[in-house]
Amino acid sequence: MEEHELNATMDRYATGDDHAFAALHRGLYPRLHAFLTRMTGNAATADDLVQETFLRVHRARSTFAAGGAVVPWVYAIARNVHIDHARSAKLRTTERLPSDPGAEPIGKSDADAESAAIAAQAAAVVENVLASLPDAQREAFVLLRYEGLSVQDAAAILGATPTAVKLRAFRAYEALRAALADHVPERAVAKESEGRARGRARA
Amino acid sequence: MSDTRDVDLAELGSIPDPIAARAPSKAPEAKAPSERSLTRDERRRRYATLAGLAVVYLVLLLARAGLRPDLATGSILLQLFVWSVVVVAGLSAVVRPGSRGLPSSVRFVQIALFTVAATFTVISILGSQMDIPIDWTVTRGCLLLASTMSLGPLILAGFALRNTFLSAATWRGAAVGAACGLGGSIGVHAHCPIQSTPHILLAHGFPILLGAAVGAAMGASKGRA
């Protein structure tokens, strides 16, 4: 569903059209689930948090401004759900569960086995480093890099200035880049090879 | 420390996505929750009703306490009018959505909070006399009345705005609380004719600090959407 269609659907929902919820849910669920999986490192936890997010969307629907943008609005609510979950998790002092493998990887049969192994290792390093970052840096990085939000939207969601958001995201990037260089040096070699191959193809 | 001038966000794209290999989640079928929730029009009516109740509360307390004899003086009326405008503008700045329906920036909220406090302070100093000493008995009475006057609007605002702040809930709560406190200051200033600057700043101005502190706490605990 296009963004303007989602906005119109949320507008209808905000004015009392309960039938709009199903379309809203279909349109936003994959993005929110991916976001919360990246933030928590656990797809099962993300399942629960997405449900909570939609419940809060329902409760807060009257605050959605006419003509507003629903995607960053919903991300802000999802972030709040994650904050509350993280705070209660600290009180419960549960250990972080290892990341589950998720659904069957797509297209694996077509991928070079070594590239797939490097990619998997890089993904694991990124996940571990993201989990160890301060919340503020992780949120900024995830919103800008993976969720594709603008700096302005991310700043509104995080309640920070655009400058602060950029700086947080960049600090996260530096930590991730350093970890990838340390733990997955083959990735740099693979990227270099890819670059040379592209150069030869263009020549 | 990295300089923001050097921040090139395009470089972020070189970091792989930890969940890229997973198939995207498919949304299960869902219906709207059965729990009752306000629609946009219902919320507007609620805000109007609660704002009206806050005004009625202040007017009733003021009627009970009595008006100052010099209320009709131009300078007093001007003070009360300017502060009233600041209350409405402050609340509006915090509550009204900004661009694309997203909350106003946290910097804007902080400026609103500062403006509420600064406007009261500057106008109080300009409209009173520094050399009149403070009478602690009278000041205590005004302090109690001012705090009581701000409490009603604060509770009503807390009820109206619970679970509505998308971000910076503590700051927004503080700004709303300060504006409600200024409402209490307006009420007590319409009653108390004392022209002592220390008395006005302390007894009439205290609700702004109290409101900001209580509002921040309420925002932090119950304000997040």
What distance in Å separates residue A203's CA from the closest CA in chain B?
25
CA–CA separation, B110 and B175 (whole Å) = 7
Is A75 in the B-facing interface, judged by CB distances under 8 Å? Answer: no
The string over B56-70, giving b where at least 16 C-beta atoms fall within 10 Å of a residue's C-beta and e elsewhere, is ebbeebbeebeebee
The pLDDT value recorded for residue B62 is 96
pTM (two decimals): 0.87
Q: Complex ipTM, two decimals?
A: 0.88
Which parts of A61-112 fold into alpha helices (H)?
A: 70-92
| Paired tokens of A129 | 């480093």
CA–CA separation, A10 and A16 (whole Å) = 10
Return the DSSP state at A106.
T
Mean pLDDT of chain B: 92
A20-40 helix and A43-60 helix, angle to the nearest 10 degrees? 140
The pLDDT value recorded for residue A199 is 59
pLDDT at A194 over 70: no
CB B124 within 8 A of CB B195: no
Mean pLDDT of chain A: 86
Stretch B118-133: mean pLDDT, rounded? 94
- Portion 16-55 of A in contact with B at CB < 8 A: 16, 18-19, 21-22, 25-26, 29-30, 33-34, 37-38, 41, 43, 54-55
What distance in Å separates residue A59's CA from the closest CA in chain B?
5
CA–CA separation, B150 and B187 (whole Å) = 8
Cβ of B85: how many Cβ atoms within 10 Å?
11
Of the candidates B95, B96, B103, the one whose C-alpha atom is nearest the C-alpha of residue B157 is: B95
Name, of A37-41, A108-112, B23-27, B173-177, the range with top average pLDDT: B173-177
What distance in Å separates residue A71's CA from the closest CA in chain B?
10
The pLDDT value recorded for residue A82 is 96
Of the candidates A153, A184, A174, the one whose C-alpha atom is nearest the C-alpha of residue A74 is: A153
Closest partner residue to A64 among B42, B101, B163, by Cβ?
Answer: B101
The pLDDT value recorded for residue A201 is 54
Strands (E), A1-150: none
The string over B92-107, giving b where at least 16 C-beta atoms fall within 10 Å of a residue's C-beta and e elsewhere, is ebbbebeebbbbbbbe
